[in-house]
Amino acid sequence: MTPAHFAFSSAFMLGLAGLAFHRTHFLSALLCLEGLMLSLFIALSLWALQFDTMNSAALPMILLAFSACEAGAGLALLVATTRTHSNNRLQNLSLLQC
């Protein structure tokens, strides 16, 4: 395990813990998701750079496009949730538990 591997792994795990354990706002959850994607971007780039594979250098770009898509869908859901649930607290999403 190299220092870079440790750094992006712990960054990913931190983002995952933040997403899983304590979220008050919808937007902070989305930001945590973006943090996950960012650490994945860095991981993919570092893999392509350290293992000297030219082909894999295109993967982080596609990842960026996909994470933009996810963020877009998430923000659209934020708008939809704010319309139906009147604010963006995640605790409001309690209609379906019974």
Partner 1 sequence: MAPFVYSTLIISLGLGTAMTFASTHWYLAWMGIEINTLAIIPLMTQNHNPRAIEATTKYFFAQATASATLLFAAVSNAFLTGGWDILQINHPLTSTLTTLALAMKIGLAPLHSWMPEVMQGLSLLTGLILSTWQKLAPFCLIYQIQPDNPNVFITLGLLSVIVGGWGGFNQVQLRKILAYSSIAHLGWMILILPFSPPLTLLTLFTYLMMTFSLFSSFMLVRTTHINSLSISWAKIPTLTASVPLILLSLGGLPPLTGFLPKWLILQELTKQDLAPIATLAALSSLFSLYFYLRLSYTMTLTMPPNNPAGTLPWRLNPQHNTLPLALTTTTTIFLLPATPTILALFTF
Partner 2 sequence: MSYLMYILLFGLVLGLVAVASNPSPYFAALGLVVVAGVGCGVLVGSGGCFLSLILFLIYLGGMLVVFAYSAAMAAEPFPEGWGSWPTLRLMVGYVAGVGVAWGLMGKFWYEEDWLGFDGVVELSVLRGDVGGVSLMYSSGGWLLIGGGWVLLLTLFVVLELTRGLSRGALRAV
Q: What single-letter amino acid sits at 29?
A: A
User: Per CB under 8 A, which of residues 17..76 are in contact with partner 2?
Assistant: 17-19, 22-28, 30-32, 34-35, 38-39, 41-42, 45-46, 48-50, 52-58, 60-62, 64-66, 68-69, 71-73, 75-76
- Total number of residues that touch partner 1 (CB under 8 A): 38
Give counts: helices (H), strands (E), the chain.
3, 0
Angle among Cα 29, 75, 24 to the nearest 5 degrees reads 30
User: Per CB under 8 A, which of residues 51..70 are in contact with partner 1?
Assistant: 51, 56, 59, 62-63, 66, 69-70
Q: Which residue has the tokens 């990842």?
A: 63
